[in-house]
Amino acid sequence: AGLRWLAVPGGADVARVIEVGNTHLTLTAVATARPSPRAAQDFGRRLARTHAPGASAFGTGPDGWSGDGFIGEARLTLRPHPTWGAFFAAERVLPYLAMARDGGALSHADAAVIEAVAGRLDDGDFDDPAAPARIHGDLWAGNVLFTETSATLIDPAAHGGHRLSDLAMLSLFGLPYLDEVIQAYTGECDQLPSGWRQLIGLHQLHPLLVHAVLFGGGYGERATQIARRYVGGHTATTAVRP
């Protein structure tokens, strides 16, 4: 359902599903190639077009799907919220924070730092006027298969979210020619908030907490370090062309 939902005309290429079973998913083969600046630029433009059709609410799942999803082996709740901050706090930060703390990947003091940021999120301090975007949701480099001309997406955790969440995931774990992707993306999209580069870390809290739950404490420490940037002193943003 996620792959179908992301297959937007003019958007990023998406692997086509051939067969679905209880324990397997068969996709079309992707003819991968060495990453290039030109392919990265094309992917950046197409990713902006993928995001553009949007979603009915922040947190909603793809059309044709009901219930929760997964990110890696962690459950991913798919519940609609009217604002991004409330959604991100309730569905993407606090549940994984609790699991990481209970599993020993976060101290109670570190958890309190991230909880403070979740409070600011819920209060709307980081909201902007942009409507929910149609995001991949797990856009690390391993799910971006470069081809001769662009890149093909696989393995989404697709939902209605903020555009920066996909860009933050690309930045977190590294992508070849990321600068070219971002430059092409921002040339195509006028919905990023002012000062958006300073908000990338905020959107990285979710994948870092997921990794803390699945793999341990080093990711929890990194999430806490990033969260300290957003505990106070940041004002609400507005959506403008960067």
Extract the runs of DSSP E, i.e. beta strands, from the chain. Answer: 13-14, 17-20, 25-27, 69-71, 74-76, 133-135, 144-146, 151-153, 159-161
Rounded distance between C-alpha atoms, residue 156 and residue 159, angstroms? 9
Residue 233's pLDDT is what?
58
Other beta carbons within 10 Å of 221: 16
pLDDT band at 240 (very low <50, low <70, confident <90, very high): very low
What mean pLDDT do residues 57-81 have?
A: 94
Report the chain's mean pLDDT, rounded to a whole number: 94
CA 104 distance to own-chain centroid? 25
From residue 117, give the alpha-carbon distance in Å to each of 24, 102, 124, 231: 38, 19, 11, 5
Q: Is residue 68 pLDDT above 50, yes or no?
A: yes
What's the distance, Cα to Cα, between the start and end of the chain in Å? Answer: 32
**216: which 2 tokens?**
């341990």
Q: Is residue 225 pLDDT above 80, yes or no?
A: yes
